[in-house]
Amino acid sequence: MDASIASQNLSSDPHAFLRSQPKPSKSFVTVETSLCDYYSGCFIENIAIRPSPEGVQKFLKSSGIRPINNVVDITNFVLLEQGQPLHAFDADRIKGSLCVRTAREGERLKTLDGIERTFPSEAVVVADEEKVLSLAGIMGGEESGISARTSKIFIECAHFDADNIRIVSQKTNLSSDSSYRFERFVDKTRAPSALVRAIELLRETCPNLKITFFTESGSCAVLTRTVRVRLEKIRCLIGFEVEEKTFCDALEALGFRLKTVESGVWEVAVPSFRPDVTLEADFAEEFIRFFGTDRIPSNVPGGIACELTDAPEYTLRLKHAEILSNAGFYECYTDSLSPRAWYDDFLPKEQVSALTLEKPLSEEHACLRFSLIPGLLNALSENRNRGNRTERLFETGRIFKVNAQGQLCECFATAFVVCPLRERTWKACEDFDFYRTQALIKSLIAAGGQMPSAVLSTEKEVSPLWQDGYGGTVGRWEQRGFEANLGYLNLNFTQRWFKEEAVLAAECFWLPERIRIPSSKSFQPYAETPTVTKDLALWVPKETVCETVRQTLVKLLKKLTKHPVEVRDVCVFDVFEDLKNDRKSFAFTLTFGASTGTLKDEQVRPIFEGLQQQIEKQGAYRVRDGS
């Protein structure tokens, strides 16, 4: 029997048919829990237990279900055909009336799989006046099951809470075809149809069956959901034009009902069996499914693509890799998650807590890395343990810092470590000392658009990662957007990897939005007329970046110069720190030229004096007059 053909035998109004049946003389079913919002069933007599029709058996076998007898097979058949679980009780085993309620403490039941189970307190059960008959929505009891002697049955058709079925199924370690459906979605509006369908199929093997009564509790009706759908939005989502009629016809064919609000806008009533459709995007998906992906018109996309070379971080990564590779370093990549044990003794507890994942996959991946250096040390140690004579490693990548407010900030970082081998080799690397490290870190800083100080400060507070008195720092990432540290690593920290060696390392990092890649210089032809140069020295706050001052001078000069005078170059040639007054000085050479004729000093002097006046007027910097 083909399911689609058999389903055509359903009554035109199954609910009306059921309500026309006799009612029980007294209440037969009482529902005492809100976890069952609809319960119905038919008490049927003159049942003969025999094999199912051949068509039903073939349908069940093709679905992987073993046929048992006509009553059990028909409940399984309707479950597969209509998605509504049913359960049949042997009516002679029911004592008195039925009650749908939650389980009481210590209640037990031997289910149809032959296992005796104790139910959790939240489990919903169907019980008579003496005992529990079934675990509602999951599995019936063995004692009230259908047997060869059964002549009367009560077929249950109900709707239970999906979350409750899922929880109880997990706690009892019991799953069935019924619980599988209830856990996901069962359209309770189809419950009457499923019950009538089962009765019609039973009549094929039991032509003399008699419906003694029909009972019902709760309502199988659901509120109709509506979604406002705009054709303009649908066109935007699917990426091509579609006519109103084509779109409406497709939705109506899928069971949706449309009410026009205005041209191109509808209130769409969603069928009860489609709980997955809630958004406009869902209707776009439904339309495409009906329309066919093979009918979507081709359209070659156009526009300007963003290249990696447009990203400052990518460019800086390449520059740093080139600088360090030329210095004899090997690049490696380490995990962005680290063991918490690496940081517990060297970072404040608040920072460690901020870096620790709430639910780490393992102890080895418990924290976000706050530095690239621990990973590099681990990689260097692993290489040596496997016979790879590696001395120098570097890495570029993202790290995570904790600001003063306790918030995590993601930074771009480059770090390198140097740990010379104690063994003599035929081709030993040139010794790498603190001064070479300082020169290298300055090159990395300059590549990121920053002007490093002439001497890295050892007076500032440095991370406990560095050996006290042997580490230096420049910049403060929270104020300037970048910071660099270098020196010898804390010996207590490196003990977990290297017992005797002192490790030299450096790390610089930027907030991604503060990376400024210097523009590459290209050849410019020599001026045909002489240029005029002026030197200008300024006192600036200690934390001021040189490039910021230079750009300020360029902007002021552009406003002050007029044809034929041109500003050819603004270049820094000296940096001086006044530690006593906590300030520093930048000295610049200003180069002027003329677009026509020979430039004279008299033409440049008023521009230069006006520049000094503008600087003094702004007040951010002060012209250095030798004091």
Contact between 134 and 113 (Cβ < 8 Å): no
Kindly state the helix (H) or strand (E) to which residue 485 belongs, with its residue range: strand 482-489
Neighbours of 254 (CB within 10 A): 15
pLDDT reported for residue 460: 54
Q: Which residues of the chain have pLDDT under 50?
A: 1-10, 454-455, 458-459
> In the chain, which segments carry CATH 3.30.70.380?
532-623
In angstroms, the CA 174 to CA 183 distance is 13
Contact between 299 and 240 (Cβ < 8 Å): yes
Does domain 532-623 correspond to CATH entry 3.30.70.380? Answer: yes
Residue 300, SS3 per DSSP: coil
pLDDT reported for residue 2: 36
In angstroms, the CA 627 to CA 619 distance is 17
> In the chain, which segments carry CATH 3.50.40.10?
3-218
Neighbours of 558 (CB within 10 A): 10
- At a CB cut-off of 8 Å and minimum separation 6, what does 376 contact? 332, 334, 393, 394, 395, 415, 416, 417, 505
pLDDT reported for residue 423: 63
Q: Which residue, among 67, 99, 96, 94, has the nearest Cα to 80 in the 3D structure?
A: 67
First to last CA, the chain: 106
Is the bond into 564 cis (omega within 30 degrees of 0)?
yes
* CA 611 to chain centroid: 53
In angstroms, the CA 82 to CA 186 distance is 9
Contact between 354 and 406 (Cβ < 8 Å): yes
* CA distance to 11, 21, 154, 358, per residue, from 16 (Å): 9, 9, 19, 56
Neighbours of 527 (CB within 10 A): 13
Strand partners, 210: 45
Structure-block tokens of residue 476: 């403060």
DSSP state of 141: B
Q: Which residue, among 194, 88, 214, has the nearest Cα to 150 in the 3D structure?
A: 88
Half-sphere exposure of 46 (CA within 13 A, CB side): 12
In angstroms, the CA 100 to CA 556 distance is 85
What is the architecture of the domain spanning 225-295? Answer: 2-Layer Sandwich (3.30)
In angstroms, the CA 49 to CA 91 distance is 14
DSSP state of 179: H
Opening angle at CA 321, ends 319 and 326, nearest 5: 100
- The reported pTM is 0.51
Backbone angles phi, psi at 387, to 5 degrees: 85, 10
In angstroms, the CA 41 to CA 85 distance is 12
Q: Which residue, among 267, 268, 276, 281, has the nearest Cα to 237 in the 3D structure?
A: 281
Contact between 462 and 505 (Cβ < 8 Å): no
Q: Which residues of 175-193 are buried (b: 16+ CB within 10 A; e: fewer)?
A: ebbbbebbbeebbbbbbbb
pLDDT reported for residue 473: 84
Strand partners, 40: 157, 216
Structure-block tokens of residue 228: 């406002």
User: What is the number of H-type helices and E-type strands within the chain?
Assistant: 18, 26
Structure-block tokens of residue 296: 């979507």
Return the CATH class of domain 3-218: alpha beta
Strand partners, 465: none
Report the chain's C-alpha Rg in angstroms: 41
In angstroms, the CA 75 to CA 81 distance is 10
Residue 30, SS3 per DSSP: strand
Residue 199, SS3 per DSSP: helix
Helices (H), 458-590: 477-480, 491-494, 546-560
* CA 81 to chain centroid: 38
Does domain 310-423+430-514 correspond to CATH entry 3.40.50.970? Answer: no
pLDDT reported for residue 470: 84
pLDDT reported for residue 201: 93
> In the chain, which segments carry CATH 3.30.56.10?
225-295
Contacts 24+ apart (CB under 8 A), 12-21: 14/192, 14/193, 14/195, 14/196, 14/197, 15/192, 15/220, 17/192, 17/196, 18/42, 18/192, 18/195, 18/196, 18/214, 18/216, 19/214, 19/216, 21/211, 21/213, 21/214
* CA 468 to chain centroid: 41
* CA 25 to chain centroid: 59
> In the chain, which segments carry CATH 3.30.930.10?
310-423+430-514
In angstroms, the CA 193 to CA 18 distance is 10
Residue 341, SS3 per DSSP: helix
